[in-house]
Structures are given as C-alpha cells and as structure tokens.
Structure 1
Amino acid sequence: MTQTHTISVGGAYDVVIGDGVWDRLVELIGDQAQRVLLVHPPTLPTYAESVRETLTAAGYDVVVAPVPDAERAKTAEVAAGLWQVLGQHGFTRTDAVVGLGGGATTDLAGFVAASWLRGVPVVQVPTTLLGMVDAAVGGKTGINTAEGKNLVGAFHPPVGVLADLSTLRTLPHADLVAGMAEVVKCGFIADPRILELIEADPTAALDVDGPVLRELVERAVQVKADVVSQDLRESSLREILNYGHTFGHAIEQVEQYSWRHGEAVAVGMVYVAELAHAAGLLPADDVVRHRRVLTSLGLPTSYAGGRWEDLLAAMRRDKKTRGSLLRFVALEGVGRPTRLEGPADALLQGAYAAISEHVS
C-alpha cells in the first residue's frame, strides 16, 4: 500500500501527502458537481490529461483551462478569462475548480473559485515543492497588480489538498531548491528539527526519492496547518508565515518577477535576520545560521541590485504595513517569532548594506 500522511487543517479539510494520492480527487469533488474547471500551466500537459481522463471517467464535464506559467498567470486579465470560461459553460455553485500546478497556479485557481458566484469549491493539486508546503495550503488566494504582489485576493479554503510527491521527480532542480526556502522558513519560525535535518545532510534534503525530503514536507505542512487553524484570516498569528516575505516580495516586484519566489524569500529571511540583529532581538549566531542553512541548499543570501529606494517603496505597500508604519515578522531566536514595527531608517539601510556586502 502506498504510504500517505494526512494532515488536518483545523478540521476543515485535509492535506494528503504521498505517492499516488490523486485517486482521491473524485472523492473530494463529490457527486453534487457536474462541471469541473481544470486550471493548469502549459508545462504540465501530461498531468493535466491524466487528471482530465480521471474526472471524465467519473462522469464530470471537464473544461481544461491552460494558463500562463508562474507569476504571469496571476493577473486580472487571466482571471477575467477564466471567469468568462466559467460563464460560458454555465458553472453553478455546486460545480468545482481544480488547481493543478505550482504556487502561482493554485493561487490563481483559488482566487477564481473564491470570486465566482461568491465562492465555489476548489481542490488544490500542487505539483511543486513550493505549492505543497505553502501556496496550496491555507486558503489564501490572490493575483498580482503593478503595485505589488498578492494585493488582490480572498481567503477561500479548499475542500482538500493532494500533494503527490512523485511529481517532484520531474520538477526542475532550480525549482526544487527554490521551494526549500519555504521549508527553511518553517524551521526558523516554529520547527527547529527542520533545520537540523537539513544541516545534517543537505543533499538528502533535496533527494526527491528519499525519506528526508518527505519528512521535511510533512513537517512544513504541519507548521502551516497549525498556524492557519488558529488564524484563518491572518489577523495576528498567521503573519508569522510571512517571515522573509516583506523584503522577498519587494525583490520580486523590483526584478519584475524574474526571480523565483523562494530565491527572493531566502534573501528576505537573511535581510530580516540582519535587521532583527541590528535591533537587538536576534543573536549574531542565528544570523550566521540563516546564511549557512540556505547556502547549503544552493539558495541565495544576498542582493546586489542597488535598488534600495525602489525596494523600500515596495515594502511600504506590503500587506503588513499599517499606515506609514513598516512591520516585519522577525525572530528573537529560532522558533520565537515576533513583530518588529517601525524600525529606524538607519536600521533598514544597515540591514540592506549587510546583505549587499556579502555579494561575492
């Protein structure tokens, strides 16, 4: 029997992790739906056809909707195109959406499901490490605008998440590495065992057929599930899941999304670690540990763009900002997240200088 691991998200829905878990898709969609919109990037035609065949055999009218790859999918224009498809095919509130792909695809599919008829069921089927441990879990959906990332969105929990680890075997190595940033994040904010596993053998952590990566995925999903179940709408605790994202999202926007999300978040974690250290919160050894763990996986820890004013402007549009007050998720130690509000400009620029000085 195929080994699977099921994690409940506050009793509202399950994340099923393992090989061959897509056979539960029909069960999750249920017998009230007649139509299913299958949203996927053009890079996954084989997976999309397999899911289409499964759903068609179960009696659903499947509408296949390819969307642009990565962040190019997360636009109002793409979302509007999917709304048009839903309308043309007469989708009702009992019909469903399936998001098959990486984090950008699941973000888009979730947002379209949340906004169509004020909410239809969505099943998330992440095929990347980033999608499995972060984007597809938690019910946060969204699209980007010219002013920033994920500024338009909705909270819309899925009816289930199916994380088939076998899809990681075909994932480009660079995307696998980038996805590890979100795993590392979970280690720093809540589960130090994640960091210990990576430090013990970084190569094993990236072995898609080995037990270490499986455990890392399970631990990262558990961290997110525990946090989300206590704070669905990010009113307080859930903000800790944005560790490294304030500066990371700024890099993505300034670089016009040419950076992978995980790469930007990795640098963002080092930035906020330097900031927390300068503010007297985080010991120097923990800053060093950030760089060591991320570097061991092949993730970047510095930024040489020379775009401070642009980055600062982007951070001021971050969702955690209140008025003109910049707010960061920071650490007082491993597993001890806190908030750093309104740091002085000198501290902000000093942290930027610290990550710039390490550029080789």
Structure 2
Amino acid sequence: MMTQVLSNPDPVEAEASSKSASQQLTVPKEYLDPPSPWNPTVGLFLGGYGLAALTIWQWCFGDWPLQVLVALAFFALHMEGTVIHDACHKAAHPNPWINQFMGHGSAILLGFSFPVFTRVHLQHHSHVNDPNNDPDHIVSTFGPLWLIAPRFFYHEYFFFQRRLWRRFELMQWGLERGLFVSIVIAGLHFDFMNFVYNCWFGPALMVGVTLGLFFDYLPHRPFTARDRWHNARVYPSRMMNWLIMGQNYHLVHHLWPSIPWFEYKPAYEATKPLLDARGSPQRLGFFESRSDGFNFLYDIVLGVRSHTTRRSKMRPLAKLIPSRRWRRRWIGLLHRTAVLPEPKKR
C-alpha cells in the first residue's frame, strides 16, 4: 500500500509542485523595473562626492595624515565606479537626465569619459570573451594582474578605432577630456600637483586594479565561454556583495543588465534554480584543478595570453632564447596558458 502511494502521488500535489518549479525558473521581471528616485546608487554618487570634498578640504585646511586622505579618495572613486557602471546601463536613476548627470559626474571624478565607458562597455556585453571584439578581453588577458589598471587606456583607443560614438558623444568626450587636461594644467600652474598625484591619480590607479579584478578578470575567467549562461560567473558572499557592490553576482548582471547592483543578490536567489538547470558557474573556481591554480598564478606574474597554440604572437620570442630546452619550455608555457574561446552559441 505504501509503495503504491509513493509511486502514485496525488495529482493535485504534483501539479502544485510543477507550478512552483516553473515559477522558480522564471526570469525575475520584478527586478527589471527602473529603480526608485532615491536608491542606493544615488547614495553612492553623493557619498563619493562627499568623500572627495572632505579629502580636498583636509588637504587644504586640515591636518589628517596623507594615508587617511588616500584612503578617503580611494573609497570615493570606488563608489563612483559602481555609479558609472549602472548609469551606462540606465539603471542608476529612472529619470534619463539625472541618470546621464550621474554618469558624467562619476566619470569626471574617476578621470574617465562617460561616452567612452558606455560604448566600450556595451561592446563588451555584446561580445563577451571574443578576442577580436571584446575590449575587456584585452584588459584581462594582455598582461599581469598588477598592471591591469593601465590597460583600461585601451578603451579609449577602442572607442575611436571602432568609431563608437553617437550624436553628441564626441563633443561630450571633448568636454570631459578638456576638463581633465585643464585640471592638470591648473595643478602645474598653481602648484597643487602633489594633491593630484597623491589623492587622485594614485587612488584612481588602485581603483583601476579593483575594477579590473572584480569587473573583468574574476567574473569572466577562464575567458573561454561565450554562451550567455556561462560567459560570466557567480560566487555568492554577503561580505563580498557589499565590498565590491554586487560584482560577485556578475553573471546576473550579464543576463539582465538593467538590474541595479543592489538587486543582484536577490535576483540571483530568485533565479538560482534556472542557473542550476543551465549549469552556470556559481563558484570562484581558482584552485578546482591544477590548471586553474597554475593559470591564476601565471596571470599574477605574467598574464599575457595567446589565442592560438600554433600561431601565437608570443611564439617568435622563442628565437631569442639560446637554450633549446628553454625554448621548448617557453612554447609549452604558451600552449598551456592559451585562451581558446568557444564559438558563440545562438
């Protein structure tokens, strides 16, 4: 009798269970709505400028130690990094004009150009892990992690090489770059370049490392998957969620870019059954295999990746190595660290 009950469940319960599973596997449309006018991203924007103003005030009139000022400037720019990212996806504010204002404002503080960031970042979303068309692929795979920040200058080159600007964006780029140059010239003329170096350029480079690490490198390694369910990853953590403002749920962002950063975590929890069903990566994946560990250590030290095992641009360097044994080791290293992206699935 018990066997019969177990093998023939109640049809009503089975239907309810099926309906529940179906609901769990639904894209969280409630998270796709525009954010409220007063939302955490607005707080980050205002907080970043508040910390920047405090840093300037203390440099001019206060007596706080330099280390504290550098830390304040770093946190200010770190906060604005999330603002510019959400603004380029129109997820910072429901009002388009305010969203644009926040995007340009955060870009100025970061020393970026909002049109460049927006167009290049959207190219990244369209061509994730494509060596020829994903600008962030170069940032992640063309040198050691400790030099990832300077590689963001490639974005400017990519923007002009691909002629990505629209309507008034070239003028906006000129205004923002003109303001940047004017500040530097004023610093040279009025002798406040020490402040610029210590409390702007230095913290900006540090933020560049964090942005490169948590927005580009960690979410997309090992840089081979191009399918939308596998081209980024999730590594759940409540602490990391706040430290890096949701970028540990980066796959959620790639699947639904209009979701603001502060809703990545609940959106992930709502769609976890869907990600499980798709086999989406939901772990950091550093040392799951010897290959993972080796490649991570390689990226810290050298990090230059080829995209073919036979015609690598790094292969001719073997001719400069006098020892045949070490030439073979060099070529073996290129083979072992090569990034060979998969064809994009439709």
TM-score under structure 2 normalisation? 0.27
- Kindly indicate which of the two structures has a greater share of residues assigned to helix: 2
**Which structure's relative contact order is higher, taking Cα pairs within 8 Å and 6+ residues apart?**
2
Calculate the TM-score normalised by the size of structure 1. 0.27
Larger Rg: 2
* Structure with more of its chain in strand, by fraction: 1
